[in-house]
């Protein structure tokens, strides 16, 4: 049995989750629809993790797993042990948790690299952590060889990305039944534009351009934009620009999805 992919629903849910995370901590590095790193400096990280879980559950209903570590590597791997709750890996517990695991249990080591390491007599995380970096440098290269050893030792110099800065605000609606009445399409776009205007005002950043997205039944998607005469957060100006952009779409075809995005002035 094959089920259709509802990409727009995944994106909408992901945006809600990431918005919740950004409201809790200033540093959020998004990895995909359902995963992100949080840069947190707290005496009780488990308490922060519980706060994150509660906030995400209230906003979206599904539960989330939180992995805690002193770096991204530890936190990433901790999520695999915490499902569906909270798990923490530290330097003191690293080998207790991962020492006997195969090397491809490490984030960044795939099956091909694991096979090559096996040819060197290295099959577990502990063995890789104790390996000679110079020996691995000769096999894997001067950068990759030592990096593999550091990886197995639980060391990661990468930090969570810089604080997120909003570049736009958007709203979308997917209709359960295709919308064939284009007068209704215009009303829906106007309503979306007003909701986006509220979001823009909350950001306290003026918008310079409005983009309208139309997905015709079944899956054809088009976008058209309209520049604003001057950066603004005025609701009437954003609504007017959205309706002007809508005029660029051929009318008459049934509509599955509508979206309005306001892009901030840079």
Q: How far apart are CA 169 and CA 165, in angstroms?
A: 11
35 is an active site residue:
yes
3-class state of residue 35 by DSSP: strand
Q: How far apart are CA 82 and CA 91, in angstroms?
A: 17
Q: How far apart are CA 220 and CA 255, in angstroms?
A: 10
In this structure, are residues 245 and 212 in contact, taking their beta carbons and an 8 Å threshold? Answer: yes
| Token output for 88 | 């923490």
In the set 8, 12, 15, 35, the catalytic residue is: 35
Number of H helices, E strands in the chain: 10, 8
Q: How far apart are CA 109 and CA 98, in angstroms?
A: 14
What spatial distance separates the first Cα and last Cα of the chain, rounded to whole Å?
Answer: 47
Please name the residue that has the structure tokens 């390996």. 131
Distances from the Cα of 208 to the Cα of 36, 214, 230, angstroms: 29, 20, 7
Element (H, E) at 256: strand 255-264
Q: How far apart are CA 68 and CA 88, in angstroms?
A: 4
Active site residues: 35
């Amino acid at each position: 049995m094959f089920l259709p992919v509802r990409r727009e629903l995944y994106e909408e849910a992901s945006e809600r989750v990431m918005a919740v995370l950004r409201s809790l901590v200033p540093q959020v590095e998004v990895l995909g629809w359902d995963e992100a790193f949080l840069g947190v400096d707290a005496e009780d990280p488990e308490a922060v993790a519980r706060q994150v879980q509660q906030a995400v559950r209230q906003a979206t209903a599904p539960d989330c797993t939180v992995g805690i570590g002193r770096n991204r590597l530890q936190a990433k791997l901790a999520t695999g042990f915490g499902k569906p709750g909270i798990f923490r890996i530290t330097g003191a517990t690293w080998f207790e948790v991962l020492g006997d695991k195969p090397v491809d249990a490490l984030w960044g080591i795939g099956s091909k690299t694991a096979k090559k390491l096996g040819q060197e007599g290295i099959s577990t995380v502990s063995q890789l952590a104790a390996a000679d970096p110079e020996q691995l440098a000769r096999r894997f290269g001067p950068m990759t060889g030592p990096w593999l050893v550091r990886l197995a030792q639980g060391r990661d110099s990468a930090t969570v990305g810089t604080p997120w800065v909003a570049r736009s605000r958007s709203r979308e609606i997917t209709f359960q039944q295709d919308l064939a009445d284009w007068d209704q399409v215009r009303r829906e776009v106007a309503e979306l534009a007003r909701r986006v205007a509220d979001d823009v005002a909350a950001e306290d950043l003026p918008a310079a351009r409005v983009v309208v997205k139309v997905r015709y039944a079944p899956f054809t998607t088009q976008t058209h934009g309209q520049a604003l005469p001057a950066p603004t957060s005025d609701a009437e100006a954003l609504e007017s620009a959205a309706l002007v952009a809508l005029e660029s779409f051929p009318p008459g075809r049934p509509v599955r999805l509508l979206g309005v995005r306001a892009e901030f002035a840079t």
